[in-house]
A = this chain, B = another copy of it.
Amino acid sequence: MNIIGHFINGQIDTQSARTQAVYNPSTGAETGHVALASAATVEQAIKIASEAFPSWRDTPLIKRVRIMFRFKQLLEENSEKICQLIGQEHGKIAHDAMGELQRGIENVEYACAATEFLKGEFSKNVGPDIDSWSEFQALGVVAGITPFNFPVMVPLWMFPMALVCGNCFILKPSERDPSSTLFIAELLKQAGLPDGVFALINGDKEAVDTLLHDPRIQAVSFVGSTPIAEYIYATATANGKRCQALGGAKNHAIVMPDADLDNVVNSLLGAAFGSSGERCMALSVAVAIGDDVADQLIAKISTEMQKLKYGAYSDQNNDFGPLISSAHQAKVVAHIDSAEQQGAKIVVDGRHAKVKGYEQGFFVGPTLIDAVRADMSSYQQEIFGPVLQIIRVESMQAAMQLINEHEYGNGTCIYTRDGEAARYFSTHIQVGMVGINIPLPVPVSYHSFGGWKRSLFGDLSAYGPDGARFYTRRKTITQRWPAADVREKTQFAMPTLN
């Protein structure tokens, strides 16, 4: 049996009392089993990382950085293999997997800028002959828990930054598509990372809870659904750790009357149906300003949707692939059902998708739903499937109110040519990542990724400058050298230095 193991102390470890099946979602076939770590296995990895920490932390910065330079090279040289592994277990088409990988590589590139972003602040003469400066020191052993939908990119949001800052890292990737993640872990070793500094642990709640409760784990980064994010945040912090937990999303695009509708349609198709909508930044709701816009938009988009191709990950001509599992496929279909039952109009129906030769694949076709209302459960919840919902409102203000009142505040977009509309929108919308004519406003690696409201728990966003701050602890040194032969007085008052 193909056992997908852990990566501990520089070695693959496939020994495990418990395993879980892994599938090829394009065919529905089981392709292997992933080891599920026991608490003892996780603790062993933490122990090894703790021991590796002091010498890794004290390694000159440029040496840590250069491992990232080499890691980038290796990711590029192995890109086809990585995309193949992603596609096989996740289902996304190679061009999409390549986009994911590329975005992940950008985070490695940013980690190469650590010489710049790890600089502390130095102040001369904060008092007479007293200097003070800050250092951003590594935390120790930190953990990341990542979702199935980006098995390569989301881990790359975390560990390159954590490692370059001098931390050791325990990664618990999704147990549904672990192979690509495991493969890049091996590349990290090949890039020169000392054994023990990084470990990958496959597992389920047992592994997660071990990480959350172990006092040696200093910080936890999480990306997943909001209920789990909330649990992770509350549990990690109750155990005294720092934590950043990214949850769900419902990303709206406002389509203004002055937008070029043909371009909007092309933009929306990719943003709504790319990767089957299994992206936390997928655009799942289009808010049309006025019925005229809505009618035109629906006419054009439903026409274009007829041309979409979906199918197995292995066919580059497909626009998107299957969902991750049959359970998730059923859940997406149920969301469409409920929308229909609650009075929405299914304009294009993807519920009965069939892909020839892949009859057991977990497919849902592109779906367009009109007349959606804010009180529908399919609107309130994240569908995470190839489903685009249309809401009609009379004004931009009404559209913004809708977005601001939604539980989630991850990403959003406005389509307009108007400077005033764009600025008003970006200033006042209660969403963390805003696109102006950009449907998926995922910040580039040198900015940071973070939603608002119940899309992010914690005070620092993921990757970029916030990532560096999250993975380091501030130390402030205040220094004064005594002048030889000068007698100093006692000061009982609160000292002010100057």
Contacts and interface: CB of A to CB of B under 8 A. Distances in A.
Interface string A112-125: 11011111111111
A444 B132 contact: yes
Contacts of A233: 237, 240
Interface string A429-465: 0011111111011111111111010100111110001
A458 B469 CA distance: 12
Given A121-B465, A438-B480, A478-B438, A491 B132 contact: no
B420 A422 contact: no
A497 B444 contact: yes
B274 A434 contact: no
Contacts of A19: none
A50 to B, nearest CB: 14
B260 A482 contact: yes
Contact of A95 (B234, B448, B452, B493): B493
Nearest to A133: B122
A99 B444 contact: no
Nearest to A424: B481
Nearest to A273: B492
A135 interface: yes
Nearest to A431: B475
Nearest to A440: B495
Contacts of A130: 60, 438
Most buried by B among A127, A233, A459, A480: A459
Contact of A447 (B66, B132, B137, B448): B132
A477 B426 contact: yes
Given A130-B438, A132-B443, A420 B484 contact: yes
Most buried by B among A458, A473, A491: A491
Contacts of A450: 474, 476
Interface stretch (A4-12, A200-208, A262-270): A262-270
Given A61-B125, A120-B122, A447-B121, A494 B100 contact: yes
A466 interface: yes
Contact of A479 (B269, B274, B437, B488): B437
A11 B457 CA distance: 35
Contacts of A89: none
Contacts of A132: 443-444, 447
Given A129-B423, A237-B238, A242-B459, A61 B119 contact: no
A131 interface: yes
A237 B237 contact: yes
Interface residues on A, range: 35 or more
A370 interface: no
A153 B494 CA distance: 10
Given A110-B115, A436-B478, A450-B474, A490 B65 contact: no
A109 interface: yes
A228 to B, nearest CB: 14
A495 B238 contact: no
B125 A65 contact: no
Contacts of A470: 459
Given A125-B58, A234-B237, A419-B418, A432 B496 contact: no
A155 to B, nearest CB: 15
Given A121-B120, A419-B416, A490 B266 contact: yes
A319 B492 CA distance: 6
Given A120-B122, A475-B432, A102 B494 contact: yes
B267 A490 contact: yes
Interface string A253-294: 000000010110011011001110001000000000000000
Interface of A: 58-63, 65-66, 69, 72-73, 93, 95-96, 98-100, 102-103, 106, 109-110, 112-113, 115-135, 137, 153, 219, 230, 233-234, 237-238, 240, 242-243, 260, 262-263, 266-267, 269-270, 273-275, 279, 304, 319-320, 416-420, 422-424, 426-427, 431-438, 440-450, 452, 454, 457-461, 465-466, 469-470, 473-484, 486-498
Of all A-B residue pairs in the complex, the 8 with the closest CB atoms, nearest first, are A99-B494, A113-B113, A99-B493, A420-B481, A237-B237, A120-B122, A436-B479, A115-B446
25 contacts: A60-B126, A60-B130, A69-B72, A69-B109, A102-B494, A116-B446, A120-B121, A122-B134, A123-B446, A124-B135, A131-B423, A134-B447, A266-B489, A266-B490, A267-B488, A274-B494, A275-B494, A279-B494, A417-B420, A417-B481, A431-B475, A433-B478, A434-B475, A435-B477, A435-B479
